[in-house]
Chains A and B, each alone.
Chain A
Amino acid sequence: YSNIEPLEPDGFREQVSKLFAEWYRICELPGGSDAASTHYISQLHQNGLLKGDEMTDRFFRVLMELSVAHCLSSEVINSSGLQSPHQMQNLSFLAIDIYAKLVFSILKVEQGSSKLFPLSKILSITVKFIQKDSEEKKNSFNARPYFRLFISWLRDLLSPEPIGDGVNFQILTAFAGAFHNLQPLKVPGFSYVWLSLVSHRNFMPRLLIGNAQKGWPHVQRLLVDLFQFLEPYLRNAELAVPVHLLYKGTLRVLLVLLHDFPEFLCDYHFTFCDVIPPSCIQMRNIILSAFPLNMRLPDPSTPNLKIDLLPEIREPPHILSEVDAALKLKLMKTDVDEYLKTRQQGSSFLAELKQRLLLSPSEAASSGTRYNVPLINSLVLYAGMQAIQQLQARTPHGQSAGNTVPLAVFLVDAALDIYQTLILDLDTEGRYLFLNAVANQLRYPNNHTHYFSFVLLYLFAESNQEIIQEQITRVLLERLIVNRPHPWGLLITFIELIKNPRYNFWNRSFIRCAPEIEKLFESVARSCG
């Protein structure tokens, strides 16, 4: 055999082709063909084709080649010649459906025996086949046959009469693993089919409902795969047409999640904010606007709304992301913990902070910014969480970590030192990213929203540099002027900023730095009541 790909034994392909034709005849038998198909599958076993070895791989590979080739050869080029993207070739899925049914029948027959023929084996053969097909065919790669194949399997394998009770979840996670290996960064030509499959009503909701949320990490990983592919293209406002379609498709999927599974978006907001570029404001707002289904949000423009008296404001938000992962990765966590505990004035910790947040020149080139954004996000949220814990430990039970706490107590915390150091040491870009990390915590009523709203307003009030106040305003405003939705915590913070005379907002010169800016603030002031 050649050392790259073991050649098939002579005549293997013809043999498989004959077997496939025989299976087709069985499927065509009227009135169902249970007996015939069971017999056929036991024959496959006897021929040694289903042992799960190299021969098995070859067997399924040839079947896929035959099915996909049949499907694509049936492509009827539209008589209208030039095709608009959505005027689609009509494909015959007959062979694909027959192949899907063969796999389903093999798995169903196996259900009785001890060794459930590993679905994961079939999926890994399928994934390798698609990866190879896309690398070989490049621009002429067509993913639609595979879309049909996966949809058929999802429908048959996950129907209420699953192949063995309670294996639904294992089947779902097997598909999730396959889709992760077919993610857009690995198979870019598969991207549209990939998102159609991942968001399909037979797949994504089933992973998110029940199973004690064990399916959530799988959906989260797939969404991160998607954002990582989009990220380089989304850094700029103008998108190429194919990217814009993928972006709009992503928005639709996020809206379904926002409407049906908001807690999922709530609990993973930190992970998603790491992979969504700062310029992608509306998409990030969708995630940050999610709030628990059973929560009712008070209207932010209610006059004299007492935020600190809201019962939810004292509760910490549920976060499933690993907030301190980036800090650990950069070996900063120990130093941060040390500083938060001791607040050693003399330590060089604060002085070195900015340097540690910068990327190396090569990393900076590929990530489109000079700063390690996930590290900034991790530092800001992790330090804040420690501060909130300390504040709640210190304040008499039942009081919120809000302005009912004497400000002196609030100022005592080391996290604030870190924030003040960053806001003074960082350059314009770094400060913008830092302020974004803070603003990403302004969500539904919880004690993070409350604390970070305080932090922003405090930094605005205490800074003596107008440029800092301008940037804080900018970070809030650019999240408000985009189309809805807008996170509740963002609205209450901005309303507090423009209404509370303590911040002297309307006398700041930058709100009149240009006529259209002046008009903008007037309209914002009106819309915020």
Chain B
Amino acid sequence: DLGAIGDNLTGSAINSGAMHNQLYNLQMLEAAYHKLPQPKDSERARTYIPRHPAATPPSYPQVQLPMASNPAFWERLSMHSYGTDTMFFAFYYQQNTYQQYLAAKELKKHSWRYHRKYNTWFQRHEEPKVTTDEYEQGTYVYFDFHVGNEDKQGWCQRIKTEFTFEYNYLE
């Protein structure tokens, strides 16, 4: 009897208005207990809305496979050399989507750096010759679009020597 005071649920407490509220509240809580918010109630399906939808034969998949939104899929894909091109494809053709976000994350993991002025991904080809607080200078590989004549067009990777990567353009 020297310690925590139990609730004196004596008659007066039960009859007083306060107790009635407590009983009512408990009943409402009990009812709500069977309708708890679910994790899926707060998840929004990351549906990709194609910018320029085109009708395709019904035999083609009409909606994205859930796998395309699975970070593990992108991690495994980017392990392969051909995977890098897939990352660049997703980055440049699935803009403002979860896929672009995942592709960019993978490219960063493989030490590609996005240049905000040239909107191009660069990767050090070797240790830079000069590094200061503002920039680094050296030889880089970068992912580019080759604008040759019709049949020569396409994405490719090039070497750029003596390039200065100013850090305030680094995303």
Contact = CB atoms under 8 A, between A and B. Distances in A.
Interface of A: 30-32, 83, 85-86, 88-89, 91, 93, 97, 134, 138-144, 147-148, 151-152, 155, 184-185, 188-193, 196, 200, 229, 232-233, 235-236, 240-243, 245-246, 278-279, 281, 361-362, 365-366, 368-369, 428-429, 432-433, 467, 470-471, 474-475, 478
B21 to A, nearest CB: 8
A192 B2 contact: no
Contacts of B16: 362, 365-366
A31 B51 CA distance: 5
B22 A233 contact: yes
Contacts of A134: 28
A381 to B, nearest CB: 20
Contact of A83 (B10, B34, B38): B34
Contacts of B63: none
Most chain A CB neighbours (cut-off 10 Å) among B22, B35, B50:
B35
Given A144-B35, A190-B32, A278 B4 contact: yes
A30 B54 CA distance: 11
Contacts of A190: 32
Chain B at the A interface: mostly helix, strand, loop or mixed? loop
A233 B26 contact: yes
B38 A88 contact: yes
Given A85-B36, A148-B41, A232 B30 contact: no
Interface in B6-53: 6-8, 10, 12-13, 16, 18-19, 22, 24-38, 41-42, 44, 49-53
A93 to B, nearest CB: 7
B2 A229 contact: no
A85 B34 contact: yes
Contacts of B24: 188
A170 to B, nearest CB: 23
Contact of A192 (B18, B36, B42, B53): B36
30 contacts: A31-B49, A31-B53, A85-B36, A88-B38, A91-B41, A93-B41, A97-B44, A139-B27, A141-B32, A143-B35, A144-B41, A147-B37, A184-B29, A188-B28, A192-B37, A200-B42, A233-B26, A236-B7, A240-B26, A242-B32, A242-B33, A361-B12, A365-B10, A365-B16, A368-B5, A429-B5, A433-B5, A471-B2, A474-B2, A478-B3
Given A151-B42, A192-B33, A365-B16, A474 B3 contact: yes
Contacts of A148: 41-42
A243 B49 contact: no
B134 interface: no
Interface residues on chain B, size class: 35 or more
Given A433-B5, A474-B2, 20 more contacts: A31-B49, A138-B31, A144-B38, A155-B44, A188-B25, A188-B28, A188-B29, A192-B37, A193-B32, A193-B37, A233-B22, A235-B5, A242-B29, A242-B30, A243-B26, A278-B4, A281-B4, A365-B12, A428-B2, A432-B4
B42 A147 contact: yes
Contacts of B32: 141, 143, 188-193, 242
A457 B127 CA distance: 65
Interface of B: 1-8, 10, 12-13, 16, 18-19, 22, 24-38, 41-42, 44, 49-53
Contacts of B25: 184-185, 188, 229
Contacts of A86: 36
Given A139-B28, A432-B5, A474-B3, A245 B37 contact: no
Given A188-B24, A192-B36, A240 B30 contact: yes
Contacts of A83: 34
B24 to A, nearest CB: 7
Contacts of A369: 5, 8
Contacts of A368: 5, 7-8, 13
A185 B24 CA distance: 10
Contacts of B18: 232, 365-366
A189 B31 CA distance: 7
Nearest to A371: B5
Contacts of B10: 365
Contacts of B31: 138-141, 189
B3 to A, nearest CB: 5
Given A368-B13, A470-B2, A243 B37 contact: no
A189 B13 contact: no
Given A30-B53, A188-B32, A229-B25, A428 B1 contact: yes
